[in-house]
Amino acid sequence: MDELLVALDVDSAAEARALSDRLRGLAGGFKIGSRLFTSHGPSIVEALAGRGDRVFLDLKFHDIPTTVAGAVAAATRLGAWMVNVHASGGQAMMRAARDAAGEEASRLSRPPPLLIAVTLLTSLNQQMLTEIGISDPLADEVERLAALTEACGLDGVVASPQEIARIRKRCGKQFAIVAPGIRGGGDAKGDQHRTMTAREALDAGASYLVVGRPIIAAPDPRAAAERLVAECRAS
């Protein structure tokens, strides 16, 4: 299922390769985040991209524009299919990232990666937002950051499933919305507050679903992925 991106939130490259081998053909791509990248660095991105897998490099770059531009250019060279930054880094940072992706891809004669921006982490709720000095309603803040991302020419955003419909209405059909915080039936939310099931998120208008623990922590990850895909395809 093209919309399904499995989060390889594991400690070793061997685990990541084994999971990707088991799930290839069911997953539309694989997310490599801080945990795996910190352990194994660029080599695991190159390994999966070299096998033809779509790799979402989820490092949430957030720094001065020049630094982020350099990081996005490096991710483009690695063959990442999707890369993200934090929308709260501002317009100059996001535009520098966009330009770096395009310029590096042109130099390499390949398509640029999808460049998306994180709005607010799914672990945040309204109280936590207030604690960091943002008094606006959480959904308003997410919509504002999504609109800023679109204005900067990025391809889409990462947002909780609960804000998808609002972003879709504001930013249109072509704007990519990547939804983490996906749970399976009966799964606990863990440290994520703003969640939905996969089917609910797709119905709301998600472009891609990022699913980690409900699949990779299951006794049989492929069977868990098959159940999730069947749920998504059910009418």
DSSP track, 29-96: EEEEEHHHHHHHTHHHHHHHHHTT--EEEEEEE-S-HHHHHHHHHHHHHHT-SEEEEEGGG-HHHHHH
d(CA 123, CA 121): 5
Alpha-carbon distances of 131 from 90, 144, 181, 189, 199, rounded to whole Å: 21, 19, 22, 22, 32
Other Cβ atoms less than 10 A from the Cβ of 28: the count is 17
CATH of the domain at 77: 3.20.20.70
Share of the chain above pLDDT 90, in %: 89
Q: State the pLDDT confidence band at 182, using cuts at 50, 70 and 90.
A: confident
Annotation marks residue 60 as catalytic: yes
Q: Which two tokens stand for residue 32?
A: 């490599």
What does pTM read for this prediction? 0.93
Q: Which two tokens stand for residue 100?
A: 């770096």
pLDDT tens-place string over residues 196-223: 889 999 999 999 999 999 999 999 999 9
Q: Which domain holds residue 32?
A: 4-233
Residue 193: pLDDT over 70: no
Residue 143: pLDDT over 90: yes
d(CA 169, CA 108): 35
Q: State the pLDDT confidence band at 194, using cuts at 50, 70 and 90.
A: low
Which residue in 50, 23, 26, 45 sits closest to 34, CA to CA?
45
d(CA 125, CA 7): 22
For all residues of the chain together, what is the average pLDDT? 94
d(CA 47, CA 223): 25
Phi–psi pair at 30, nearest 5 degrees:
-130, 135
Which residue in 149, 141, 143, 144 sits closest to 124, CA to CA?
141
Alpha-carbon distances of 115 from 77, 95, 142, rounded to whole Å: 14, 10, 17
Q: What total of structural domains would you count in the chain?
A: 1
> Torsion angle, CA of 108/52/172/150, rounded to 10 degrees?
-40
- 């504001």: which residue's tokens? 170
From 31, 60, 169, 173, the catalytic residue:
60
